[in-house]
Structure formats: structure tokens, C-alpha cells
Chain A
Amino acid sequence: MSKNGPLSLGFHTLVVLFMMAPLVVVCLVAFTPENTLSLPTSGFSLRWFRAVFERADFIHAFYNSLILAFVAATLATLIAVPAALAITRYTFPGRDFFNGLFLSPIIIPHLVLGVAMLRLFALMGVNGSFFWLMLAHVVIITPYVLRLVIAAAIGIDRSAEQAAESLGASRFTLFRQITLPMILPGVAGGWLLAFINSFDEVTLSIFVSSPATQTLPVRMYVYATESIDPMMAAVSALVIALTAGTMILLDRVYGLDRVLVGKH
């Protein structure tokens, strides 16, 4: 029942091809048996995937990224949920400022945040520390959790909360028994979105990580500026697979279209 003409569908096909092409090519090259990046490949081989698993630096960077994203997303959720409830439940002077400040890392270039944190960490003598890299990630991913939790907290019916409150439920019980279950899709979706954003982050991390705390995207960036071989394609294919897995999860708990275009 498409209302689009052939010209529109042709244009649409080109756009979809354009968006998919680099990702598909990466996945195809990852299975090449050859030493070069040429396409089409002559056969099918897993040698470059094996090569990835023999690279201790990439494995180390992968675990760094995984732990970093997991802890940072969790901390971001722990601070964003109360902040979102403050912003949606209470009126207080400066509320709009708080909201704007907490969302601002989305519009401040990561490059600027990276050099700013590098300066702070250098003055504190903690540059390259995993803990501070993780806190830097919390700052840049908190807005994503905040936005989703605010949307969830505005959308829910307040009468259940009011009923529980009038029946004498404590604030903690109220939150745990009533509010949290109702905003849970927003919280879980926010956590996953924060996880993906932390896992992918390269621009800020390149400034505030050391060789020991290098994340996977930083390791890949540095590797790609030095040499290009099919191992890079194999790592990329693994990253695509992991991201796709997280996205499927995100779709189940919150709805991918809601995350991407804010549909309710």
C-alpha cells in the first residue's frame, strides 16, 4: 500500500544502499583468506578473526571498553534517575538550568570535553587512570539516560503514586514499589543507550586514556592511522555484531524506534 512512485522508491533504494554499504563491505572483507583488503575475495576464511584473538592489545582494549561501558552506564543511570525525578516531580528555582546543564554534553563537542578533562586530570596528576576515564564517560552519557527517564517519568499516571502516598507509604517504598516499575523501560533503555555510547566513544577517550586504559575504539583508531589490513575488518565486524546484539536488546526493552525518533 505504498504511496511512493518508482522515482521515490529508486531514491530510497540508493539511500539505503548508501547507509548500508560501508558496514556490509567491512563484514565481507573480514572473512577474506588473503593478506590484502581487495574485494571480491577468492574464498572464505576465519583467519583474521583468529588473528584478532591472538592480539593481546586488542583483547585488553576490548575488556577495557566492556568494563568501562558497563560501569559508566550503571553510574550514569544511578545519578540520572534521581535527577530526572527531581526535574519532573518538583518545581524549584534553577530547575531549567539544572536540566540544561545535565543535557549539555550532547551539544558540547566531545573534542572540547576531551581537552578540558585532559587539563583537569593532568593538574590532578590522574591522567590515564581508569577511574577518571570512567567518570568522564559518565558525564557524556548521563544525558542519554536522563532524556529517556524524563520521558518515562512524564508519561506515567500519577494517581497510583498519590494513592500510595496518601496510604502512608514511605518515600523509598513509593519509589521501589510504584515509580520504579513504571519508569523501568525508560531506565533500562537509557542504560543500554548509555552503554552503546560509552562503548563507541573515541574522541574524548583518545585524550584521557593511556596505553594501559586504551579503549577498543581508541586502539582501533590508532591502529587504522598506522596500517590497514583485514584484521581491522575482523575487529570492526565483531564490534558491529556486538552493537547489533545490544540494539536488539534495546528494541526488546524499550523499542528501537522510540529511542531513535522518540515515538511513544
Chain B
Amino acid sequence: MSALAAMRRGGRGYLLSTPAMALFVCLLILPLCLTLALSFNVFDYQLGVKNDAYTLSHYIDLFSDSYFYEIFFRTFWISALVTLLCVLIGVPEAYILSRMGTPWRSIFLILILTPLLISVVVRAFGWSLLLGADGLINQAIQALGGRPVKLLYTPFAVVIALVHVMLPFMIIPIWTSLQKLDPAAEQAALSLGASQAKVMRLVVLPQVMPGVLSGTLIVFGLSASSFAIPGLLGGRRLKMVATVVYDQYLSELNWPMGATIAVVLLLANLLIMLSWNRMVEGRYKKTLGA
């Protein structure tokens, strides 16, 4: 094929992507740029947003005000805890699923993963029924002779519901990397006298690490920006980054401050993803000897 023909065929590639590109420029790139600009706009509680005056004050407020500092810190530890719990549950569960026989494996895989497709509002509501003052868990505690515990509107409720929402995102990549594991490698190790624990540590875990790492990335990112779960199960006082952005936009009406928090959230997310990716790539290059 001549170079000219290659360009012409490439041209058709552009042509076919034009509708998508037009939409994504107008409704993704443009609004993100506008929001970045908005985060530098001066805000006045009487006059609203001043479109022609710029300031760094929202960023300075964000990094100096202990209120915001506390919320970012809380969002970080809740997301980190959720991620850790998802790894601790997801790795053994994916491994158990992969060792199941044919009908059960698909059935349980679908049972565990399909809640992913059910509205997060419905799932949050389900947890509020379970964790409420007279919910099933408190009834069980009372039936066993204990005193009712306040579960709803605590970090515990937010963490447990987030684990429920995020677990499928952890199991999917682990499952995918487990599929690449050759069962013969496990059998070989066992027949050569390795203990089950040693097989796990030296054969299975190194295989699932890429899956765990990409699951960690997804779960942490989604938890840090989660809105409906802290909004419905955290109550009025337990704020996370997303619920604070919502307050700034819809109750305080301080859009520039809300935009600033949103921009910082997006940048923090991207930074964590890129540095994590780099770290992981570095490690794998080392272990592969490249």
C-alpha cells in the first residue's frame, strides 16, 4: 500500500471518529477546562461568581483550612481501608471461585458480580435497612443479649457499604489474571513436595499481583470520589470529598470553591494512578529482567 493510500485510509479513521470526537470535545474537554478556570474565579457571597476576576484564594483555603484538611484525610483513610478490605476478601474469593466446578463457578461469579449493575442508591438503602437502629444486625445483637449499637451514620456504615460496592471491581481483575495461571504449575509445585502455603506464596500470589494492583487502583479511585454511599449512610456530619463538593455547589452556592475541590480530587486521582502505574511497571520490569 502506498503512503498516499495509507493516509487516505487513516483519513477515514478520522471521519469515523468525528461524531465521538465532537461530543467529547464539547462535553468533556470543554467543561473540564471551564471548571479549571472557574476554580480561579473570585467568589463573593453577595454578588456570586465574578467571571473576570481571578484569585488563588480557593486553593490557599483548601490547603490551609483544617475543615478541608480533615475531609481529605478522612476520604483518604476510608478509601485506603476499603481498598485493603477488598484485597483481603477479593484475593481468596477469586481463588476459591476459580477452583470451583463448572456450573457453580459461573453461578457464583454472576451472583457476586451482578450487584455491580444494580443502582448504588438501592444498595445504600439496603445497607441502611441492615444497619439501622432497629435493623437486622441490631436485632441479632439484641437477640444474643447485647445492647443495640449505633451503626448507621458512622464511618463503619460507609466502609462496609463501600466494600460491598467495590468488591466486584477488585474480583474482576484478579479473576482475569487467575485465568492466565496454568494449573499445571500448581500441580508441579505440589508434586515436588511444596506445601499448600508455599504454593500460594510462590506460584499463585505472584500471578495474581497484576490483577490485585489494577483492582487496587480502580477501588481506591472510585472510593475516594464516591458520592451516594457517604451521602446516604454517612449522615450530615460524616462528610467525604464528594459530599462536600455537592454542599459547596448546591447549598453554599460557592461554585468556585466546589470547582477547586473537584479539580484537586481529579488531579489527586490521576497523580495516584500515574505514580502507581509507574511503580508497578518498574517492579515488573525488574522481575522480568528487562
Binding site for B on A (CB under 8 A): 1-4, 8-9, 11-12, 15-16, 18-23, 25-26, 29, 36-39, 78-80, 82-83, 85-87, 89-93, 95, 98, 101-102, 104-105, 107-113, 115-120, 123, 135-136, 138-139, 142, 146, 196, 199-200, 202-203, 206-207, 217, 220-221, 224-225, 228, 232-233, 236, 239-240, 243, 246-247, 256-257, 260-263
Contacts and interface: CB of A to CB of B under 8 A. Distances in A.
* Interface core residue of A38, A89, A104, A115 (most chain B CB under 10 Å): A115
Contacts of B30: 120
B17 A98 contact: yes
A16 B200 CA distance: 23
B231 A221 contact: yes
25 contacts: A8-B96, A12-B108, A19-B167, A20-B111, A25-B130, A37-B129, A37-B132, A39-B129, A82-B16, A91-B13, A98-B21, A110-B227, A118-B249, A119-B259, A200-B120, A217-B120, A220-B125, A221-B232, A224-B128, A225-B232, A236-B125, A257-B106, A260-B114, A260-B116, A261-B176
Nearest to B102: A1
A118 B197 CA distance: 53
Contacts of A21: 126, 130
Given A20-B111, A23-B123, A111 B225 contact: yes
Contact of B121 (A25, A217, A260): A217
Contacts of B20: 79-80, 82-83, 98, 102, 142, 146
Contacts of B161: 22
Given A26-B129, A138-B23, A262 B122 contact: no
A45 B132 CA distance: 22
Nearest to B167: A19
B27 A139 contact: yes
Contact of A12 (B96, B127, B132, B221): B96
- Which range contains the number of B residues in contact with the other chain? 35 or more
Chain A interface, >50% SS class: helix
A116 B125 contact: no
Contact of B136 (A25, A120, A138): A25
A109 B115 contact: no
B19 interface: yes
Given A8-B99, A91-B13, A110-B225, 5 more contacts: A9-B96, A26-B122, A98-B17, A109-B222, A139-B23
Contacts of A82: 16-17, 19-20
B118 A200 contact: yes
B259 A38 contact: no
A112 B27 CA distance: 12
Given A15-B112, A39-B139, A112 B130 contact: no
Contacts of B104: 2
* Interface core residue of A38, A90, A138 (most chain B CB under 10 Å): A90
B113 A261 contact: yes
A257 B118 contact: no
A243 B117 contact: yes
A107 B269 CA distance: 9
A119 B121 contact: no
Contacts of B194: none
B31 interface: yes
A203 B242 contact: yes
B10 A93 contact: yes
B81 interface: no
Contacts of A136: 27
Contacts of B227: 110-111, 202-203, 206
Interface in B12-39: 12-17, 19-21, 23-24, 27-32, 34-35, 38
A112 B265 contact: yes
The 5 residue pairs across chains A and B that have the minimum distance between CB atoms: A22-B126, A90-B13, A109-B225, A92-B10, A116-B31
A200 B111 CA distance: 19
Contacts of A8: 92, 96, 99
Interface string B131-161: 0101110010000000000000000000001
